[in-house]
Amino acid sequence: MSATAASSQNTNAQREAIAPPRPATFDVDVVLVMVIAALLSIGLLMVYSTTFDWSYMEYGSPVRIFFNQLRSAVIGVTIMLFVWRSDYRILRRRGIAAAIMLIAIIALSVLLIINKNEDFGSRRALYQGSFQPGEAAKLSLLIYFGAWLASRREQLHKLGYGLIPFSILVGAVGSLIVLEPDLSTAAVLVLAAWTMFFLAGANVIQIGLTGIGVLAVGFTLATQFNYARQRLVDHVKAMEDLTKASWHVQQAIIAFTAPSDQLGGPNWFGIGLGQSRQKFGFLPAAHTDSIFAIIGEELGLFGCLVVIGLFSLFVWRGFKIAREAQDPFGALLASGIASWIAYEVLLNIAVVTAIVPFTGVALPFISYGGSNLVVVLTGAGLLMSISRRRPLKIERQETRADYDFGRRDRRRRVSRISRRVGSEE
pLDDT over 50 (residue 17): no
pLDDT of residue 238: 67
Q: Quick check: 293 and 255 in contact, CB under 8 A?
A: yes
pLDDT over 70 (residue 200): yes
Exposure string for 345-373, b = 16+ CB within 10 A, e = fewer: bbbbbebbbbeebbbbbbbbbbbbbbbbb
Range from 169-183, 242-256, 257-271 carrying the lowest mean pLDDT? 257-271
pLDDT of residue 117: 56
The three-state secondary structure class of 156 is coil
Most confident listed range (85-99, 109-123, 199-213, 214-228): 85-99
CA distance 288 to 54: 13
The more confident residue out of 111 and 382 is 382
CA distance 301 to 259: 11
pLDDT of residue 116: 58
pLDDT over 60 (residue 90): yes
pLDDT over 90 (residue 121): no
Q: How many angstroms separate the Cα of 375 from the Cα of each of 78, 92, 360?
A: 12, 19, 17
pLDDT over 50 (residue 37): yes
**DSSP state string for 258-293:** HHHHHHTS--SS-S-TT--STTTTTSTTTTTTTHHH
pLDDT of residue 281: 78
Those residues whose C-beta lies under 8 Å from the C-beta of residue 208, and which sit 6 or more positions away, are none
For the chain, how far is it from start to end, CA to CA, in angstroms?
Answer: 29
The more confident residue out of 222 and 114 is 114
Range from 87-91, 240-244, 321-325, 331-335 carrying the lowest mean pLDDT? 240-244
Q: Quick check: 338 and 322 in contact, CB under 8 A?
A: yes
pLDDT over 90 (residue 162): no
pLDDT of residue 115: 64
> Where are the chain's structural domains?
27-404
- What contacts 24+ positions apart, CB below 8 Å, involve 398-403? 398/153, 398/154, 399/153, 399/328, 400/327, 400/328, 401/325, 401/326, 401/327, 401/328, 401/330, 401/331, 403/153
pLDDT bucket at 129, cuts 50 / 70 / 90: low
Percent of the chain clearing pLDDT 70 (strictly above): 72
The whole model's pTM is what?
0.81
Tell me the pLDDT tens digit for each residue of 377-421.
999 999 999 998 666 554 443 334 433 344 444 444 554 444 343
Nearest to 367 by CA among 308, 291, 293: 291
Those residues whose C-beta lies under 8 Å from the C-beta of residue 153, and which sit 6 or more positions away, are 200, 201, 328, 398, 399, 403, 404
Those residues whose C-beta lies under 8 Å from the C-beta of residue 9, and which sit 6 or more positions away, are none
pLDDT bucket at 25, cuts 50 / 70 / 90: very low
> Rounded to the nearest 5°, which phi and psi values hold at 122?
-145, 160
The more confident residue out of 9 and 104 is 104
Average pLDDT over residues 12-30: 52
Distance of CA 181 to the CA centre of its chain: 20
Tell me the pLDDT tens digit for each residue of 140-154.
999 998 998 888 776
Average pLDDT over residues 337-354: 92
pLDDT bucket at 375, cuts 50 / 70 / 90: very high
The mean pLDDT value of the chain amounts to 78
Average pLDDT over residues 38-65: 91
Longest dimension (CA), the chain: 94
Amino acid at 386: I
pLDDT over 90 (residue 41): yes
